[in-house]
Amino acid sequence: MAAELTDPAVEAFVAAVNKGDREAFFAALTDDATMSDDGTDRDLRAWAEREIFSSNGRMDVEDVSADGRTLTATYTNSTWGSMRTRWVFTVSGGRVSRFETGQA
């Protein structure tokens, strides 16, 4: 059973990833959102295209922190297969302003 997402901004982010919906994904982010992957800052748009949209990325959330902004998920895409990942979100004004992901 998937863990219940409690932060609306994080929920919108995960739903957009799982639907492969670029428009909804970028709507869930602030205009100046940033991200890192395994501790290295990345170009968010290039990363999302490569790791989510062109490779059919999907998040199966296993655990959610009490504040709803840290997740453990099995992340699967056609490039890397499945891996256990950790996601930490910063939310500003109801949208994700930064996310950090990496292997859990």
Number of separate domains in the chain: 1
Expressed as residue numbers, the domain containing 84 is 8-103
| Each residue's pLDDT tens digit, 9-55 | 999 999 999 999 999 999 999 999 999 999 999 999 999 999 999 99
Please give, one letter per residue, the 3-state secondary structure of 3-54: CCCCCHHHHHHHHHHHHCCHHHHHHCEEEEEEEEECCEEECHHHHHHHHHHC
Write the CATH number for 22. 3.10.450.50
Query: pLDDT digit string (tens) for 48-102?
Result: 999 999 999 999 999 999 999 999 999 999 999 999 999 999 999 999 999 999 9
Q: CA-CA distance, 99 to 2, in Å (whole number)?
A: 20
Would residue 2 count as lying in a domain?
no
Examine residue 3 and state whether it is found in any structural domain, yes or no: no
Predicted TM-score (pTM) of this structure: 0.95
